[in-house]
């Protein structure tokens, strides 16, 4: 672990972005073996990822953002940064829903919207991980919190890879193409993660904005995608997943921070 902490934030972000991408690809691989997945497992994993991301948005992103000295009061910077991050996801969803009709190669409008929504949402998720590593540079507890955030997103990416690949397969796309499109939706996290770490590392004044923007974007993704997805299944499993994920992230962040 000391070896990992000693690495530069950019390299840490790169390594974890590759892991996050690999989990998307691993989930998509199941399209070669089956057309169905265990709904309870997907519900629990998605709920846990939602809980981890909600807790990380507050404990790993918003609270550290408030500690930076800024020209404006920190609470103003964090509030506007959070609003900008949330607005980015909301308006992106609106734009995607209006343009998805143009993309027929995926089989239908629903599949097109799902694919582009997942791909777009992976960008701020990747940025959030990169920014978290930049914020925790040199501090073991903060690096561990960023690592847990990346693991939480990777856990979410596993069922996400399935959720993109299986609808495409069901609409007649070959298993190979379904896999390629699904893993491609996760590949965008790699440059986003590295760019987030680079920007936050070399532009110090950007850090509170980047942290709060990432938090707002992640909360919006959780509300628009993960919560509706997991609660469309068994509610008790989804609730347990969210609570366990939140508590795990909160406990580790407070204990190690």
Please give the pLDDT value at position 19. 93
Provide the sign of the torsion angle of the four alpha carbons 170, 172, 176, 182, taken in this order: negative
Please give the pLDDT value at position 239. 92
Distance CA 234, CA 29 (A): 25
pLDDT at 3 over 60: yes
Distance CA 102, CA 234 (A): 34
Quick: pLDDT tens for 212-240.
888 888 888 888 877 887 888 788 988 99
CA 224 distance to own-chain centroid: 12
Q: What tokens does 28 get? A: 């998509």
pLDDT at 103 over 60: no
pLDDT classification of 22: cutoffs 50, 70, 90 = very high
Top-confidence residue, 167 or 175: 175
CA distances from 215 to 82, 106, 251 (A): 6, 31, 19
Quick: pLDDT tens for 48-91.
878 877 887 888 778 878 887 777 888 899 999 999 989 988 88
Please give the pLDDT value at position 78. 92
End-to-end CA distance of the chain: 16
pLDDT at 46 over 60: yes
Burial classification of residue 183, based on how many CB atoms lie within 10 Å of its CB (0-12 exposed, 13-18 middle, 19 or more buried): buried
Q: What's the whole-number mean pLDDT along residues 102-129?
A: 65
pLDDT at 174 over 60: yes
pTM, full prediction: 0.68
Contacts of 250 (CB under 8 A, 6+ apart): 55, 59
CA dihedral 153, 158, 162, 165 (to 10 degrees): 70
Top-confidence residue, 170 or 94: 94
């Amino acid at each position: 672990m000391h070896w990992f902490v000693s690495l530069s934030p950019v390299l840490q972000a790169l390594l974890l972005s590759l892991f996050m991408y690999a989990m998307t690809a691993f989930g998509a691989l199941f399209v070669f073996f089956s057309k169905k997945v265990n709904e309870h497992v997907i519900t629990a994993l998605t709920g846990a990822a939602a809980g981890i991301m909600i807790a990380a948005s507050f404990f790993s992103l918003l609270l550290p953002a408030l500690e930076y000295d800024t020209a404006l009061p920190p609470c103003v910077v964090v509030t506007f940064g959070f609003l900008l991050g949330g607005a980015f996801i909301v308006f992106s969803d609106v734009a995607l829903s209006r343009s998805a009709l143009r993309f027929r190669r995926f089989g239908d409008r629903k599949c097109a919207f799902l694919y582009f929504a997942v791909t777009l949402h992976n960008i701020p998720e990747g940025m959030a991980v990169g920014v978290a590593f930049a914020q925790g540079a040199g501090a073991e507890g903060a690096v561990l919190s960023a690592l847990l955030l990346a693991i939480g997103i990777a856990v979410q990416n596993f069922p996400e890879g399935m959720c993109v690949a299986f609808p495409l397969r069901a609409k007649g796309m070959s298993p190979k193409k379904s896999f390629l499109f699904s893993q491609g939706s996760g590949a965008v996290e790699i440059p986003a993660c590295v760019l987030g770490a680079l920007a936050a590392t070399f532009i110090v004044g950007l850090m509170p904005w980047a942290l709060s923007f990432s938090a707002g974007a992640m909360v919006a993704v959780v509300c628009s995608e993960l919560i509706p997805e997991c609660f469309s299944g068994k509610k008790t499993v989804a609730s347990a997943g969210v609570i366990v994920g939140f508590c795990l992230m909160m406990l580790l962040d407070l204990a190690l921070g």
